[in-house]
Amino acid sequence: MTTEELLKKVRKIEIKTKGLTRHIFSGEYHSSFKGRGMAFSEVREYQVGDEVRTIDWNVTARFNTPFVKIFEEERELTVMLVIDLSGSAFFGTQNRSKKELAIELAAVLAFSADSNNDKVGAIFLTDKVEKYIPPAKGKKHVLYLLRELIEFEPQNHATDISEGLRFFRNVTKKRSIGFVISDFISENPFIDAFKISKRRHDIIALRLTDPAEQVLPDLGMIQLFNAETGTKTWVNSSSRRVKQSFVDQYQKHELELHNAFKKSGVDFASFSTTEDYIPVLSSLFQHRR
């Protein structure tokens, strides 16, 4: 990709995602994530309309009248995008690849952070951390991050999300928001890494999917290629048994993934390469209010 082509692509993504950020996600981002960076300031007497969950029960018991805690919003938060760019990220059968979907999601989140004066950084991940972009503010930094993401060519093809989260914890000491963008197709376990990371940080898992991963097309004998291991397998895609086995494996993985994230307390949402990601992202933001 030439420099001119790259700049055009970045500009196109900027126009699309900044419009979404400004008109759809700005308020939702603020209420969903900024509220998590609050510091206790003082207490005052309860007033009609105050949330019950803000009542300070110790002070209330002492004075025999309800008092609520007052919090001040931290001046800024840090948003870190942990992006899986292993071999399977380049898969996509119709509208776009999972990497292209990841770029748009990253752009929306980065511009949302920028519009709220937050820092944003990125970790590009395979089975190792291949690139680290330290958090910073400003549109210029966001555009730099997106250019790097678009141009990035990974050295490795396998996935180790735990390694990315370990690096995130090591370089980010202050409580931050971590978006892990991946298809979560990995032979290396990663749920424990999410649990450990969540003790200090606000972690959200954004899963990327493609319809071809769910159902085999009826094309007779076809060769399946594993982009992460490099292995090739011939299967009869017209066989009912093979097709059902393919569906069963996908549904099993889907259920295990949902249950694992639910148990770990990590917010989780799925995005398809063939569908509009706006309703899903908006629903996620609203759920976190």
Predicted confidence (pLDDT) at residue 129 exceeds the cutoff of 70 = yes
- Terminal C-alpha separation, the chain: 41
Q: What structural domains and CATH numbers belong to the chain?
A: 3-31+75-287 (3.40.50.410), 38-73 (no CATH)
For position 3, what pLDDT does the model report? Answer: 61
Mean pLDDT of 78-107: 87
Q: Give pLDDT, residue 14.
A: 76
73: β partners: 38
Residue 137 has pLDDT above 60, yes or no: yes
Which region among 7-16, 130-139, 148-157 has the lowest average model confidence (pLDDT)? 7-16
Two structure tokens written together for 66:
């309800």
**129 with 164: CB under 8 angstroms?**
yes
Which pair of tokens denotes residue 289? 């209010």
Residue type, position 170, single letter = N
Instruction: Say what the pTM is.
Output: 0.78
When pLDDT is cut at 50, 70 and 90, the band that residue 142 belongs to is very high
Kindly tell me if the per-residue pLDDT of 206 is higher than 90. Answer: yes
Higher pLDDT, 78 or 30: 78
Amino acid symbol at 11 = R
The C-alpha atoms of residue 100 and residue 187 are separated, in whole angstroms, by 23
Residue 77 has pLDDT above 60, yes or no: yes
Tokens of 64: 């025999």
Q: What pLDDT is attached to residue 1?
A: 55
pLDDT in tens, 6-18: 667 777 777 777 6
Element (H, E) at 72: strand 67-73
What is the mean pLDDT of the segment spanning 215-233?
Answer: 67
Report how far residue 226's alpha carbon sits from residue 159's, in angstroms, rounded to the nearest whole number: 12
**Token digits for 58?**
């110790």
Tens of pLDDT, residue by residue over 158-199, are 889 999 999 999 998 888 999 999 999 887 889 999 999 999
Mean pLDDT of 124-148: 93
pLDDT band at 230 (very low <50, low <70, confident <90, very high): low
Instruction: Give the model's pLDDT for residue 73.
Output: 55
Mean pLDDT of 215-225: 68
Tell how strand 232-236 and strand 267-272 pair up: unpaired
pLDDT score at 130:
94
Highest mean pLDDT among 96-100, 203-207, 215-219, 223-227: 203-207
Contact 176, 119 (CB under 8 A): no
Residue 179 CA to residue 144 CA, distance in Å, equals 18
pLDDT surpasses 70 at 258:
yes
In terms of Cβ atoms closer than 10 Å to its own Cβ (0-12, 13-18, 19+), residue 52 is exposed
| pLDDT number for residue 173 | 82
Partner residues linked to 39 by β-bridges: 72
Q: Is the pLDDT of residue 35 over 70?
A: no
Q: What six digits make up the tokens of 231?
A: 């292995």
